[in-house]
Amino acid sequence: MRFLPIIPLFASVVPAIWPKPIHYEYGQTILWVSKDVSVFWTSAGDYDRNFQGPTISSTPSGDEIVDFALQKTWEIIFEKSFVPWKLNPKSWQEPDPSEAVYITDIHLKLLKNDPENVAKPLAGEVDESYRLSLTTDGTVSISANSSIGLTRGLSTFTQLFYWHSQGGAYTPLAPVEIFDSPKFQHRGLNLDVSRNWFSVEDIKRTIDAVAYNKMNRFHLHITDSQSFPLEIPSLPELAEKGAYRPGLTYSPDNFKEIQYHAAIQGVELITEIDMPGHTSSIWFSYPELITAFNVQPNWNTYAAEPPSGTLKLNSTAVNNFLETLFKDLLPRVLPYSSYFHTGGDEVNKKAYETDETVQSSDFAVLQPLMQKFIDRNHKHVRSYNLTPIVWEEMLLDWDLDLGPDVIIQTWKSDSAVAKVVSKGHKALVGNYKYWYLDCGKGQWLDFDPSISSTFYPYNDYCAPFHNWRLMYSYDPLANIPPEHQHLVLGGEAHMWAEQTDPVNMDQAIWPRTSAAAEVLWSGAKDEYGRNRSQIDASPRLSEFRERLVAMGIAAEPIQMHYCTMNGTQCQLGYSMQGLDGNL
């Protein structure tokens, strides 16, 4: 479908929906909206309209999700909006409020009953498409096949509005017709909350931004070698001793609150307990379960990061510990997710030489033990009706026999994605050369003078910094044969947090992750099969960044005002493509 602008080329407002809808027509009539506009919503079930807000103990219903989205819509339009001077030339004049014509009614139509798992679907179980129309005489209709589709439509609706400096919200874009639907079923951000500490509020704020980007997965890499902040009540010492500091932990109530905050916005939280590697923090409470703990010097022979250490691989004590952990945690995941991530990346074979239950680094010895380890863990996961996710190494390096249900999260290369799907497995993408947000900051290790010159100028392993254009150029389907493309469920951008904490997390994540969000929602190619154009994306991303900032997300600017005030001046090179990226 084509973009159909009915406005002159140098018009002042960019029709800036992010991520880009499949079909979008708009005009240039100004309509205002007031808080008391009539909203007609045909809800799916026996929804209590006097409902005082959901309880955070249970899986949210479709109706609760839409109710939350409506509140959020009003909050964004009337309290978290902005005057768009940065997106207009100096000569720009705001609309005259004395001539305001108002939107009269908003109709939300759920076209089908929600599937049972609407708040915690497996990939593909929920149709997120929506249709939005706004007529010049002020009628808005949003229809969708699921409550999640309605929330995606409402989220787009907020992006039609600007704040007026004299008060009030208006759209200059009526009439509007949008049909929209995501390209990929799994669109996520992975946040590592083990390397540095992040509060519940930091995580919730990030989930709000994830939802506003129409992403539908939030992967919480919640434990690692450096800290174990997740409280497991049946193993109380785990977080008491494993966290950086008493109190820097996620209690069961905190964990529930975070999961619920995601689910109510159509974002499924995926919890990862990475194992058997990346587990040294367990040593602080259960030293007998960990081998090769904190080897010094030369920890790097035994692990990718200090402190070294890994769960023993052939130990009944480890098995019992994990059984207790799963029995405690999985029932608390179940109301909010259909997935559980058991990690499996960067397992160091050498560490098992010091493991008295194995005493070998021979792959032939370790591989069958790893198979048993995974089989046992996934049996627990499946016994709660959860679908396991693992990192690619379990399949591609360890050559394990994983069930067809298991989703493989790739990170090393495009060819890893191709290999995973050629084996018939479902894959998530997130090539570290494109979608790792931690790259390009330089090393966090300190180098002894004896070796420091070897590492000069201290670049990190995945430098340079992956700017939004690079992230935007990543195609999840690159080199995947057509017959296997359906197995690429989508992907995630990754915020590994060695050098990121609440002070810089917003800038590190946003708006770069929005580039990944658009690739995952709209696809890496446009409707003509061409790579998406930066010329088209850049002004929209600048506007979306303003929306994130207005929401309280400290997203970085991608250009100076000079560029955003005139969408054509900061371009280098010209082709036959139009200003909106199309012919």
Ligand X SMILES: *[C@@H]1O[C@H](CO)[C@@H](O)[C@H](O)[C@H]1NC(C)=O
Which residues are designated catalytic? 346
In the complex with ligand X, the residue whose CB is nearer, 129 or 280, is: 129
Distance CA 536, CA 578 (A): 9
Biggest CA-to-CA distance, the chain: 81
Distances (CA, A) of 503 to 227, 487, 500, 506: 19, 37, 8, 8
Distances (CA, A) of 329 to 113, 230, 241, 380: 31, 10, 18, 11
357 binds ligand X (CB under 6 A): yes
In the complex with ligand X, the residue whose CB is nearer, 337 or 564, is: 564
Distance CA 339, CA 263 (A): 13
Under rule CB under 6 A, which residues in 143-162 are in contact with ligand X? 143-145
478 binds ligand X (CB under 6 A): yes
Provide the minimum distance between the beta carbon of 166 and ligand X in the complex, in angstroms, as a whole number: 23
Instruction: Please state the separation of Cα 44 from the chain's center in Å.
Output: 28
Q: Binding string to ligand X for residues 42 to 81, with x set by CB under 6 A, is what? A: ----------------------------------------
The stretch among 44-52, 123-131, 328-336, 573-581 that binds ligand X (CB under 6 A) is 123-131
Selected binder of ligand X within 18, 26, 74, 130 (CB under 6 A): 130
Under rule CB under 6 A, which residues in 74-103 are in contact with ligand X? 89
521 binds ligand X (CB under 6 A): no
Provide the minimum distance between the beta carbon of 357 and ligand X in the complex, in angstroms, as a whole number: 6
Three-state SS for 522? helix
Instruction: Please state the separation of Cα 210 from the chain's center in Å.
Output: 5
3-state secondary structure 333-361: HCCCCCEEECCCCCCCHHHHHCCCCCCCC
531 binds ligand X (CB under 6 A): yes
Selected binder of ligand X within 367, 473, 499, 559 (CB under 6 A): 473
Selected binder of ligand X within 475, 492, 546, 580 (CB under 6 A): 475
Selected binder of ligand X within 70, 100, 200, 365 (CB under 6 A): 365
Tell me whether the omega of the peptide bond preceding residue 8 falls within 30 degrees of 0, making it cis.
no
In the complex with ligand X, the residue whose CB is nearer, 348 or 387, is: 348
In the complex with ligand X, the residue whose CB is nearer, 10 or 444, is: 10
569 binds ligand X (CB under 6 A): yes
- Vertex 469, ends 467 and 474: CA angle to 5°? 105
Contact by Cβ (8 Å): 129, 64: no
Three-state SS for 162? strand
In the complex with ligand X, the residue whose CB is nearer, 244 or 432, is: 432
Indicate the DSSP class of residue 18. Answer: S
Structure tokens at 197: 């500490």
Distance CA 550, CA 547 (A): 5
In the complex with ligand X, the residue whose CB is nearer, 130 or 184, is: 130
The stretch among 36-44, 138-146, 277-285, 453-461 that binds ligand X (CB under 6 A) is 138-146
Distance CA 60, CA 72 (A): 16
Contact by Cβ (8 Å): 238, 285: yes
Distance CA 16, CA 160 (A): 8
Provide the minimum distance between the beta carbon of 317 and ligand X in the complex, in angstroms, as a whole number: 11
Total site size for ligand X, rule CB under 6 A: 23
The stretch among 211-219, 333-341, 543-551, 565-573 that binds ligand X (CB under 6 A) is 565-573
Q: What long-range pairs does 467-471 form, CB within 8 A, spacing at least 24? A: 467/512, 468/511, 468/512, 468/514, 468/515, 468/541, 468/558, 469/515, 469/534, 470/434, 471/434, 471/435, 471/512, 471/513, 471/515, 471/516, 471/519
The stretch among 47-55, 129-137, 154-162, 318-326 that binds ligand X (CB under 6 A) is 129-137
Provide the minimum distance between the beta carbon of 142 and ligand X in the complex, in angstroms, as a whole number: 9
The stretch among 71-79, 182-190, 443-451, 471-479 that binds ligand X (CB under 6 A) is 471-479
Phi-psi region of 479 (alpha: psi -120 to 50; beta: other; left: phi over 0): left
The stretch among 141-149, 213-221, 390-398, 553-561 that binds ligand X (CB under 6 A) is 141-149
Provide the b/e sequence for 143-155 (b: ≥16 CB within 10 Å): bbbbbbbbbbbbb
In the complex with ligand X, the residue whose CB is nearer, 155 or 206, is: 155
Distance CA 497, CA 577 (A): 39
The stretch among 45-53, 126-134, 201-209, 236-244 that binds ligand X (CB under 6 A) is 126-134
Residue nearest to ligand X (CB): 89
37 binds ligand X (CB under 6 A): no
Distance CA 235, CA 230 (A): 11
Contact by Cβ (8 Å): 16, 544: yes
In the complex with ligand X, the residue whose CB is nearer, 457 or 529, is: 529
In the complex with ligand X, the residue whose CB is nearer, 130 or 284, is: 130
Provide the minimum distance between the beta carbon of 180 and ligand X in the complex, in angstroms, as a whole number: 8
Q: Binding string to ligand X for residues 305 to 344, with x set by CB under 6 A, is what? A: ---------x------------------------------
Selected binder of ligand X within 131, 187, 261, 426 (CB under 6 A): 131
Distance CA 21, CA 182 (A): 9
133 binds ligand X (CB under 6 A): no
Residues engaged in binding ligand X (CB under 6 A): 10, 12, 89, 111, 127, 129-131, 143-145, 314, 357-358, 365, 369, 473, 475, 478, 531, 566, 568-569
